[in-house]
Amino acid sequence: MTRRRWIADEVIGNTAALVGEHAAHLARVLRAEIGQEFDIATGEEVRRGTITTISYDRVEFALGTKPYHTLRSKPSAAPKITLALAIFKFDRMEWAIEKCTEIGVARIIPVIARRSDAHLAAAAVKRHERWQRIVRQAAEQSRRSAPPEIAAPVKLRELAGVLPPGALTRVVLAESLAESAEENRLGEVLQSRLTEDEVALAVGPEGGWADEELAWFRETGWVAASLGNTILRAETAAIVATALALEALR
């Protein structure tokens, strides 16, 4: 049976620990016991960890001397996909964040779009800590060695300042292309333009990006593409686009 993987909050020598709510989930919900073994991702490697002490806010592990693998030797384990995700209804947005984490997204940037509900946009800043927990839990569930980065919400015109440095292929999903004779499908765009090893995808809210937002994307070097002739919900579009980009990077 495959051991569950945990991403350590603290690592000192051959000892690792989970702290706070992270530890509480293992101690209270899963009712862990001293002596149980799990896989522990330390940031540089994955090692077998044996629980040595348990409290409701701290669980400590003794780490095995031999790692299963060294993460630095496996760059392919972290696909370089950045998802700029417009803010929409939180339950569905957070489902997209969870599933895109499981697929392998490297970075998520929540974006306050023109069509983002004003109340959701105002509340989004307070959701950042929750989103960090979601990506960590999803990363552990899917046996990733580290969660993706998830930025604090930004306005669209601030997006350029938080994108990763260096060259990357930038694609904005535009619903309006779905009925156009000049339609650019995402898969075709990635095949023709993927000259770098990193992709940034921008997925709009319900109703899509506003015309002035699409104009801004084009002015700043993004290419517009669609996912086909049907109009997908925002969370579906985010998951499909991430999966297509991941496949293109392989």
| Amino acid identity at 147 | P
- Shared domain check, 9 and 92: no
CATH, residue 67: 2.40.240.20
Q: Are 61 and 16 in contact (CB under 8 A)?
A: yes
Q: Is residue 88's pLDDT more than 90?
A: yes
Q: Based on the fold, state whether residues 151 and 181 are members of the same structural domain.
A: yes
> Residue 66's pLDDT is what?
67
Residues 47-77: tens digit of each pLDDT = 999 999 999 899 999 998 766 655 444 444 4
Predicted pLDDT of residue 49: 92
CB 74 within 8 A of CB 45: no
Q: Specify the pLDDT at position 76.
A: 45
**In terms of pLDDT, which residue wins out, 236 or 228?**
236
Residues 172 and 225 in one domain: yes
Residues 232 and 127 in one domain: yes
Instruction: Kindly state whether residues 85 and 142 are assigned to the same domain.
Output: yes
Return the pLDDT at 143: 87
State if pTM tops 0.85: no
Residue 197 predicted with pLDDT over 80: no
SS3 93: helix
Residues 26 and 81 in one domain: no
| Number of independent structural domains in the chain | 2
Report whether pLDDT(177) > 90: no
Residue 80 shares a structural domain with residue 69: no
- Give the pLDDT confidence score for residue 145 in this predicted structure: 85
Residues 19 and 139 in one domain: no
Same domain? 128 vs 81: yes
Average pLDDT of the residues in 114-140: 94
Distance of alpha carbon 70 from alpha carbon 48, whole angstroms: 13
Residues above pLDDT 90, as percent of the chain: 62
pLDDT of residue 73: 41
Report pLDDT digits (tens) over 25-53: 888 888 989 999 999 998 878 899 999 99
Boundary-marking domain end, from 73, 97, 120: 73
Question: What's the rounded mean pLDDT across residues 183-205?
Answer: 83
| Whether 89 and 182 share a structural domain | yes
Task: Examine the fold and report which residue of 73, 90, 124 is the final residue of a domain before the chain moves on.
Answer: 73
Q: Which of 213, 5, 248 lies closest to 114 in space, CA to CA? A: 213
At 27, list the tokens.
């101690």
For residue 220, give the nearest of 143, 168, 145, 146 by alpha carbon: 168
* H-helix or E-strand spanning residue 172: strand 169-173
Is the pLDDT at 182 greater than 90, yes or no? no
**pLDDT on residue 164:** 85
CATH number of the domain to which 157 belongs: 3.40.1280.10
31 with 153, same domain: the answer is: no
Q: What tokens does 119 get? A: 């109340």
Beta strands in 5-150 (DSSP E): 5-7, 10-12, 15-19, 37-41, 45-55, 58-70, 81-86, 107-112, 149-150
Q: Which domain holds residue 184?
A: 76-249
Residues 154 and 244 in one domain: yes
Q: Indicate the residue among 45, 73, 101 that finishes a domain.
A: 73
Q: Is the pLDDT of residue 156 over 60?
A: yes
Question: What pairing do the DSSP bridges indicate for beta strands 154-155 and 15-19?
Answer: unpaired
